[in-house]
Amino acid sequence: MGAKLTYKDAGVDTKEGEKAVRLMKEHVKKTFNANVLTGLGSFGSLFKLDLTGIKEPILVAGTDGVGTKLKIAFMVDKHDTVGQDCVAMCVNDVLCQGAKPLFFLDYIATGKVNAEKVADIVKGVSDGCIIGECALVGGETAEMPDFYADGEYDMAGFAVGVVDRSRIIDGSQIKKGNILVGLPSSGLHSNGYSLVRKLFFEIMKLQVNDYVAEIGKTVGNSLITPTKIYTKACNAVLAKETVNGIIHITGGGFFENIPRIIPEGLGVRIDIGSWNVLPIFEYIQRCGNIARNEMFATFNMGVGMIIVIDSERAETIMDLLKEVGEEPRIIGEVVSGEGVCLC
Greater pLDDT, 341 or 305: 305
* pLDDT higher than threshold 80 for residue 11: no
Distance CA 180, CA 306 (A): 6
Distance CA 267, CA 343 (A): 13
CB 304 within 8 A of CB 226: no
User: What's the one-letter identity of residue 136?
Assistant: L
CB 63 within 8 A of CB 158: yes
3-class DSSP state for residue 131?
A: helix
Dump pLDDT digits (tens) for 233-246.
Answer: 999 999 999 999 99
Query: Which residue, 336, 45, 301, is CA-closest to 187?
Result: 301
Q: What is the pLDDT of residue 19?
A: 73
Domain 8-167 maps to which CATH number in 1.20.1060.10, 3.40.50.300, 3.40.630.40, 3.30.1330.10? 3.30.1330.10
249 band by pLDDT with thresholds 50, 70 and 90: very high
101 band by pLDDT with thresholds 50, 70 and 90: very high
Distance CA 161, CA 199 (A): 37
Buried b (16+ CB within 10 A) or exposed e, 90-121: bbbbbbbbbbbbbbbbbbbbbbbbbbebbbbb
What are the sequence ranges of the domains in the chain?
Answer: 8-167, 179-342
Dump pLDDT digits (tens) for 322-343.
Answer: 999 999 999 999 999 888 889 8
Q: Mean pLDDT in the chain?
A: 91
Residue 325: how many other CB atoms lie within 10 Å: 9
CATH 3.90.650.10 fits 179-342, yes or no: yes
131 band by pLDDT with thresholds 50, 70 and 90: very high
pLDDT (mean) for 164-179: 95
Greater pLDDT, 246 or 18: 246
Distance CA 49, CA 68 (A): 35
DSSP state, 5? P
Dump pLDDT digits (tens) for 44-88.
Answer: 888 888 888 899 999 999 999 999 999 999 999 999 999 999 999
Q: What is the pLDDT of residue 285?
A: 95
7 band by pLDDT with thresholds 50, 70 and 90: low
Q: What is the DSSP string of 235-247?
A: HHHHTT---SEEE
Exposed / middle / buried, residue 239 (Cβ in 10 Å: 0-12, 13-18, 19+)? exposed
